[in-house]
Amino acid sequence: MNKRRLGKFLSLLILLFLIFQGTSVEAVRSLSGDERNRFPQATPAEERSLRGFRLLTEREGWLWIGQRLYRTDDGGNGWQEITPPRPDGFFPQAVFFLDSRRGWAVFLGRGEEGKVTYLWYTTGDGGDVWEKWQLASAEFDSTTPPGAIYLHFVDPLVGWMVVKQATSSNFSVGALFRTDDGGHTWKKLAIPIGATA
């Protein structure tokens, strides 16, 4: 790894550490003194929580911070918000990008009769345009929101989703689902515990 890449990598690690410690992104900008840093602004406490990120190539990656998604194509020097449009009261619960173009996201909210509604989003252009549909299955029909959701895809069609139910600290109950069509339909599989797939 050359010195320039190492420097950028260390800067990103410091930034992530400061975010985890509750330091605002604005404070990080003032520490860096670099006005060209176009890192996404995040001021409310709930918007500072880092929920996920992944470097896909040397220059491309995505970041999930608070309720928003961002992508970079210049090694982290600039970030573009790519959060899909969603109804009020729906929030991201799981995000996965296979590469710089293809990604998926699950949003949860309350639908009819107070039931938990799962909205599925997919993009094939890095988040510029998102396709949305509701996951319709008796398996996703509940009045209790899950404790966590995990996504993983191995190609544009085949992926897994774990829906971990909110239970006590003594139990871990979850459901494992598999898709062979990019998330349009899901088949429930057996899983011994509610853990990442």
| Residue 108 domain-assigned (yes or no) | no
Q: What is the pLDDT of residue 4?
A: 63
| Residue 155 domain-assigned (yes or no) | no
Q: What is the pLDDT of residue 191?
A: 63
Sign of the alpha-carbon dihedral angle for 194, 97, 32, 7: positive
Cα distance between residue 108 and residue 140, in whole Å: 11
Would you say residue 40 has pLDDT above 50? no
Q: Max Cα separation, the chain?
A: 57
Q: What is the pLDDT of residue 147?
A: 80
Kindly report the number of other CB atoms within 10 A of residue 6's CB atom: 10
| Residue 129 domain-assigned (yes or no) | no
pLDDT digits (tens, 9 = 90+) for 79-119: 999 999 988 888 899 999 999 999 999 998 887 777 788 89
Contact between 123 and 140 (Cβ < 8 Å): no
| Residue 148 domain-assigned (yes or no) | no
| Residue 97 domain-assigned (yes or no) | no
Cα distance between residue 190 and residue 148, in whole Å: 17
| Residue 169 domain-assigned (yes or no) | no
Q: What is the pLDDT of residue 7?
A: 54
- Answering whether pTM is above 0.85, one says no
| Residue 195 domain-assigned (yes or no) | no
- Give the total number of structural domains in the chain: 1
pLDDT digits (tens, 9 = 90+) for 1-34: 565 664 555 455 444 444 444 433 433 333 333 4
Minimal CA–CA distance to 12: which of 62, 83, 69, 81? Answer: 62
| Residue 159 domain-assigned (yes or no) | no
Range picked from 25-29, 57-61, 154-158 for highest mean pLDDT = 154-158
For residue 29, what are the domain limits?
Answer: 1-83
Minimal CA–CA distance to 93: which of 69, 72, 113? Answer: 69
User: Please, what is the average pLDDT of the chain?
Assistant: 75
Q: What is the pLDDT of residue 189?
A: 86
